[in-house]
Amino acid sequence: MRTLIFQSHAPRPPYWIERCTATVRDWTAAKGYDYRLIGDELFDGTPPDIARKAPSVLPLTDLGRLLWTRRYLEEGYERVAWIDSDVVVFDPENFSIDSDSKHLVCREVMAKLDAGKLVTRTAVNPTITVFQNGSPLLEKWIDKALKLGQQAKTLTPTAFGRDLLDSFTGREFPAIKNVGHFSITILYEIAGEPLPIGLPGERVAPMMRAAGIPFAAANLCGHHKTSPALYLKVVERLIETGGGIVNDRLREEPAQSRSN
């Protein structure tokens, strides 16, 4: 199947972003897929009246990836996958977009505090999207985004991405399940750095238990307010260990069980 992987980032990104996209390029080459990295042309084709309503580039990025996916499919590709530029592939042999489904999104497992208690939550998001020719979801998603963009007075950062996915009720989305989504607390744990005040608690082990399978890649969520040096340290540790720094904790028992 003729497949294209594409990504986008601004000119002169932080080095850790370049490290992430390099892992995607290497994986793409090993799989025999085509690869394209684009810049601000990602926003070409976005209606100007919709662009003016966006307080940041985030909703425009979500719309742009959909429009470019359709464009690449029309160029003759049979399958097109978007991968966020802050995704690092650290176990390329076990990272795959192969599926019988016409489309894939990305499963997300998060561990967070709720009323002082650590809970896990599972959802889907567009960190990675995969569409084959004939996917009914792609056109439905684009149409709904364009209508929302015309009707809304202002756009939230996730208006065209996670929010629209959540609005497609009654659907079980085929999803890539071995991609982690790392909160800032997870990043500090991986880096071995002391947690900032207000971010108590261990999260990696509960997240891995909730995921139930090893991760082959991870979205490092580049919007976190932390240093590029910390991000780079996380990238290097994930690559050096082949993901072992998180996956080795998959079978770890909860602390309460260990103490009994």
The domain that holds 39 is classified in CATH as 3.90.550
Q: Would you state the pLDDT for residue 243?
A: 97
pLDDT digits (tens, 9 = 90+) for 1-12: 999 999 999 889
pLDDT digits (tens, 9 = 90+) for 119-148: 788 889 999 999 999 999 999 999 999 999
Q: Would you state the pLDDT for residue 56?
A: 86
In SS3 terms, the chain reads as CCEEEEEECCCCCCHHHHHHHHHHHHHHHHHCCEEEEECHHHHCCCCHHHHCCCCCCHHHHHHHHHHHHHHHHHHCCCEEEEECCCEEECCHHHCCCCCCCCEEEEEEEEEEEECCEEEEEEEEEEEEEEEECCCHHHHHHHHHHHHHHHHCCCCCCCCCCHHHHHHCCCCCCCEECCEEECCHHHHHHHHCCCCCCCCCCCCHHHHHHHHCCCCCEEECCCCCCCCHHHHHHHHHHHHHHCCHHHHCCCCCCCHHHHHC
Q: Would you state the pLDDT for residue 195?
A: 76
| CB 80, CB 73: distance < 8 Å | yes
Q: Would you state the pLDDT for residue 1?
A: 92
Residue 116 CA to its chain's centroid (Å): 27
- pLDDT of 214 above 80: yes
Spatial separation of the C-alpha atoms in residues 18 and 86, rounded to whole Å: 9
Q: How many domains does the chain have?
A: 1
Domain span including residue 110: 3-259
- pLDDT of 199 above 60: no
List, edge to edge, every strand of the sheet that includes 34-38: 34-38, 3-8, 79-83, 117-132, 103-114, 175-176
| CB 120, CB 111: distance < 8 Å | yes
Look at 158 and 237; give whichever has higher pLDDT. 237
Amino acid 37 reads L
Look at 88 and 155; give whichever has higher pLDDT. 88
Q: Would you state the pLDDT for residue 85?
A: 96
Q: Would you state the pLDDT for residue 259?
A: 37
